[in-house]
Amino acid sequence: MNKMKNQKGLMPILIIALIALVGLGGFFVFQTFLNKPAATPVPLKQKTQPKKTVMVKTRSKTPGIIKQVATAKAIDVKTSLPIQPTNKFTTKDKYVYLSLVLNNPTAGTRIDYVRYINGRYLDHKSVKLASPGMKALAFDWAAKTTANRPVGVYRVRTYTNGILEKRANYTVSKDTSLTFANLMETYYP
């Protein structure tokens, strides 16, 4: 009976050892076969295509038709050349002229301007020359009778047949001449 008692006490130890052994074996199998690290992605080799040649468009050669550009407060009506050239105007100036000195253009040559104020598009105009050999051409911008000319920095770009030729800049500021009305505004706003 003593042997039975010893065997009964040994049985739970054997069962625990067997469970531990099965657990340890399962853990070993899990670590070895089932718990593989995730596969790291390998980039596929892509076929390299030859580099495409990109044509860079360069600026067209300047035709040289417009030799000189000037802004003015007055021009000679017969020659279109400036009488009072300036790049500073006031809001009260009635006209701003753009005078272009031309270099023997052919008939049908197109002369354009695009005008901007404070970096924003303002207006444009295009003229097709009817006769060859013109010496000068003028554009004018008249102030509206009901309003003053807007204050700002004006930029004018001139083109011959669509190709940029010359640039001109002028400014318009408030009229600062000493008149009775300006003095009254200064002291009695």
Predicted confidence at residue 55, as pLDDT, reads: 56
3-state SS string for 163-187: EEEEEEEEEEECCCCCCHHHHHHHH
User: Are 126 and 99 contacting, i.e. CB atoms less than 8 angstroms apart?
Assistant: no
What is the overall mean pLDDT for the chain? 81
SS3 label, residue 32: helix
- Supply the CATH classification number for the domain 66-180: 2.60.40.10
Share of the chain above pLDDT 90, in %: 50
Predicted confidence at residue 16, as pLDDT, reads: 83
What residue spans define the domains of the chain?
66-180
pLDDT < 70 positions in the chain? 1-9, 29-60, 145-147, 176-189
Predicted confidence at residue 20, as pLDDT, reads: 80
Predicted confidence at residue 189, as pLDDT, reads: 46
pLDDT in tens, 60-83: 688 899 999 999 999 999 999 999
- Integer Cα distance of 135 and 137 in angstroms: 7
